Amino acid sequence: MKAALARLVMTSLLLVLPGPGRAGAPGALAWFKQGVELSRQGDYQAALLRYQRARSLAPNWALPYLEIAVAHLMTDNDRKLIGSALKRAVELGDDIPRAHYLYGVFLQEEGRRRPAIAELTRALQLRPSMVDARYRLALLYIEEGAQQRGLEQLELVVGQRPSHVGARRTLAVLYEQSGRLEQAEKHLAAICKLYPNNAYHLSELARFYRRVGWQGKARSTQRAADKLDPARKARSLRPLPPSRRVRRRSDPMEPGGSQS
C-alpha cells in the first residue's frame, strides 16, 4: 500500500483547501495547512502532529483523517491506525474520490476484496480518470471470478493509458485462455510497438505464437528479437560442456575396481 499512497501524496497537497467554515473550527485549517507544508518538505512525522491537531479541532472534517493515514504510512506504517483513519475519511468525505481509492487499496491489501471493489467503484464514479483505481478494480473482478467485468475494465484502462503494460499483459493472458487469439496477439504486439528496442517483449510474443501453433510468426518474431539481443541467442545456443564420469574405486564392475 505504501507505493500507492506515496504516488498520491503530492496530489492531496494540491487540493483546493476549504475555508474555515468547511474546516469546522477556527484554527483547524491553519494546522492543516502547516501539515501540508511539512508534508511537501518530507517531514511526515511533524506533519502528522499538525494533522492530528486539526482533527481534534474539527473532528467531522474528512481531510485531516485522510492525511493522517498518509502520514502514518510514511512514518510508522501502523496498519490499524491507517485503516481507521481511512474508514473515517470515507465516512465523512463521501465526495472525495482519493479517500475511496486509498481505502480501497487498503482493503485490497488486507484481502477484503468485495468491500475493496465497492470503494474503488465509488472512487471511479466520482473521478473516472483514475486509471490506477480502474486497474485495481479489474484485477479484483478477475480474482472474484467475474472475468468479463475484469476484461471490460482492463480495456478501459488501455483506452485511457495505452502504455499500461500490466493491463495489456493481463488482457493477453485472459484472451489466450478464452481462445480469442487475435485479441491476445493485439495486446502483445502493442507492447512490442511501445518498446521497439526491447528484445524481451518480442521473445514473449514469439513464445505466444509457438504456444498457439503460429510457427511462421514465431520464427520471424524470434529472429527480430535475436537481432536486438544477439548475446541472448548466443547464450541459448551455447552447447553444454561434457559431463565428467566419476569412477568409484569400490565398484568391482569398473576397470581397476577392487574384486573380492
Euclidean distance between CA atoms 102 and 123, whole angstroms: 9
Kindly give the parts of the chain with pLDDT less than 50: 10-11, 13-21, 234, 237, 243, 245-260
What integer pLDDT is reported at residue 245 of this predicted model?
47
How far apart CA 64 and CA 185 sit, in angstroms, is: 47
Domains of the chain, each with CATH number or no CATH = 24-93 (1.25.40.10)
Q: What is the pLDDT of residue 258?
A: 40
Residue 191, number of CB atoms within 10 A of its CB: 20
Residue 83: per-residue pLDDT: 98
Tell me which amino acid residue 29 is: L
Return the pLDDT at 229. 80
- Residue 72 in contact with residue 62, Cβ under 8 Å? no
The predicted-structure confidence for 38-68, as pLDDT tens digits, reads as follows: 999 999 999 999 999 999 999 999 999 999 9
pLDDT score, position 236: 53
Inter-residue contact 25 to 58 (CB < 8 Å): yes
User: What is the structure's pLDDT at 178?
Assistant: 95
Q: What is the pLDDT of residue 10?
A: 45
Entry pTM? 0.79
Dump pLDDT digits (tens) for 168-193. Answer: 999 999 999 999 999 999 999 999 99
pLDDT of residue 59: 96
Residue with cell 488501455: 158
Question: CA 93 to CA 101: how far, in whole Å?
Answer: 12
